[in-house]
Amino acid sequence: MLLVLSVVLPFPALANSVSDAVETSGFNQCKGQLNQVAGDVITQRAHASQDAWSPVNPDQRLYSALIAQNHPNESTQSTITMVPNSDGGCDFVTTHTAVWDKSCAEARNTSLRQNKQVGVLADRTVVIESFIQGQIIFLTPVLNDRACMVTERDVSFSTR
């Protein structure tokens, strides 16, 4: 069984929908870190989230949120997945995805030029190691390479 809560907050929102949802979830061990990460992801723009957690022992299982957010020139989707670990800390993964109105080659050579290409997935998705520690960026051509789907992934393994 899985509990799902969808929360829509209009701009300007003083809180964020993930923080609102976690208050009722029973996900306590990582609540502070989840609220901090959600605050970093949600930049006080119009957004909504769809949050999911287990109703059975929620404090020992993962918590996941998908956040749709509007920016001036684009809309993005972000995910936060967090789980308590055996060290008493909280491990998490965040992803941020947007479609840029330029080819992936142009994105790589302009906006992302300070980062290092480290590989290719499935013949089309370029893998870039960000200068931000722990962040990997994936560039996938879309719309016959007239646009680029850009996904940033951050992974953190933490201890207390």
pLDDT tens-digit map of 55-107 = 898 888 989 999 998 877 788 899 999 999 988 889 999 999 999 999 999 99
Confidence of residue 8 (pLDDT cuts 50, 70, 90): very low
Domain that holds residue 86: 3-156
Q: What is the mean pLDDT of residues 105-114?
A: 93
CA distance 53 to 46: 23
Number of structural domains (the chain) is 1
Q: How would residue 121 be classed by pLDDT, with cut points 50, 70 and 90?
A: very high
Higher pLDDT, 9 or 93: 93
Range in 14-18, 54-58, 92-96, 135-139 with the lowest mean pLDDT = 14-18
- Which of 98, 89, 58, 82 is closest to 155 using CA atoms? 82
Is the pLDDT at 22 greater than 90? The verdict is no
CB–CB of 71/39 below 8 Å?
A: no
**Of the ranges 61-70, 119-128, 133-142, which one carries the lowest mean pLDDT score?**
61-70
**Residue 73: CB partners within 8 Å, gap ≥ 6?**
none
How many degrees, rounded to 5, is the angle at CA 51 between CA 47 and CA 52? 170
Instruction: Inform me whether the pLDDT recorded for 12 exceeds 80.
Output: no
